[in-house]
Structure 1
Amino acid sequence: MVFINLRWSSNMHLIQLVYASRLVGDESVLHSIHSHAVRNNTAHVITGKLLYCSGRFLQVLEGEPAQVHRTFEHIKADPRHSDVTLLMEQAISERAYAHWNMGFRHVQEQELEQYPAYKAYFKDDFSALQIQPLIALEIINTFV
């Protein structure tokens, strides 16, 4: 976990964007994806959390709209991700993940067994998450 100290104006417009995607390749690239996210997010004052389980990602990004959208475009173009699906975007008054430039959690299959209601979200084509996008944030926040 990497902690950063961010300072920004209280009148700065912020957004929170949540997406899901699939991993292309094997899990050996997870460290590279996370370290790349930490570098980029630190440089662009983006905070958030990345959750990985069973070949699927759920991620929340927070920051100024232009920076978050630019980051999301890079993710969509990243060959390590496929089926990148925007689940939710909303204006926020403050960051929920201000202490993480990119928190990361690799959830193991056996851990997911403790949350049977969430298992389906890591098995389908993300359509259930598109219908109920707040579930994605609930899942992300469950695995601290």
Structure 2
Amino acid sequence: MTAQMLSILYSSTAVEPFDDDRLLALLQQSRANNERHDLTGMLLYRGGRFVQVLEGPESTVRELVEKIGRDPRHTNMRMLFEEPITERQFAGWTMGYEPISEPREQKPPAFRDTFDDLEVGDDATATLRAVRELSLWFRVRAARAQ
């Protein structure tokens, strides 16, 4: 019998800003740990804020979320979305990462350059839509880079 898989989305605020070197160290550690524990996902960081999707075996995801919640490098951790899954959105990605640049003055229609609506909303449907937008955006950018 296969273990139930879970996908979660959370946001948090860095206690101190992360420069490129700190982010690289975090990513290297996360990728190694995630590969060992059969976890996949993506990490977005901008303006001192993290948004992360984690997916994998339910018990493993829950254990990692508890560990992340105790990490002193960030605060204000907020679980934005959680759902059982049968298929990974980030299969093969132990931790995809994309730095998000500062917003442009002229934004194309439907362009997402902030996480603010995720932070304040309690509407699960809107949160799920935002997760899917972020996921699609991330996968398209990664495909272009290859």
* Contact 1:16/1:62 (<8 A) preserved: yes
Partner of 1:43: 36
- Kept in 1: contact 2:80–2:118 (CA 8 A): no
Flag structure 1 segments of 5+ consecutive residues without an equivalent. 1-8
- RMSD over aligned Cα atoms: 2.4
Q: 1:100 and 1:125, CA in 2 relative to 1: closer, same or farther beyond 3 A?
A: closer
Give the match for residue 12 of structure 1: 3
How many angstroms does 1:99 deviate by?
Answer: 1.5
Give the Å deviation of 1:113: 6.2
Q: Which of 79, 82, 92 is the equivalent residue of 1:86?
A: 79
Query: CA offsets, 1:11-48, max 9 Å, x none?
Result: 43211111111122122221222112112111111000
- Counterparts of 1:102-113 in structure 2 under 5 Å? 102-110=95-103
> For residues 48-97 of structure 1, what are the alpha-carbon distances to aligned partners after superposition, in whole Å with 9 as ceiling and x for unaligned?
01111121111111111110011111111111111111011111111111
Distance in 2 of aligned mates of 1:84 and 1:49: 16
User: Per the alignment, do residues 71 and 112 of structure 1 end up closer, same or farther by CA in structure 2, a change over 3 Å counting?
Assistant: farther
Structure with the bigger RCO (C-alpha within 8 Å, sep 6+) is 1
1:141 alignment partner, SS class:
helix
Count of residues in correspondence between the two structures: 133
Contact kept in structure 1, 2:103 and 2:113, CA below 8 Å: no
Could you tell me the TM-score, scaled by structure 1's length? 0.79
| Contact kept in structure 2, 1:54 and 1:108, CA below 8 Å | no
Structure 2, unmatched stretches of 5+, are 142-146
> In structure 2, do the counterparts of structure 1 residues 109 and 118 end up closer, same or farther at CA, with 3 Å as the change threshold?
same
Q: Distance in 2 between matches of 1:111 and 1:80?
A: 29
Alignment of 1:1-144 (within 5 A): 11-28=2-19, 29-110=22-103, 114=107, 118-122=112-116, 126-128=119-121, 130-131=122-123, 132-134=126-128, 135-143=130-138, 144=141
Percent of counterpart pairs with the same letter?
A: 31
- TM-score under structure 2 length normalisation: 0.78
Q: Segments of 4+ in structure 1 off by > 6 A? A: none
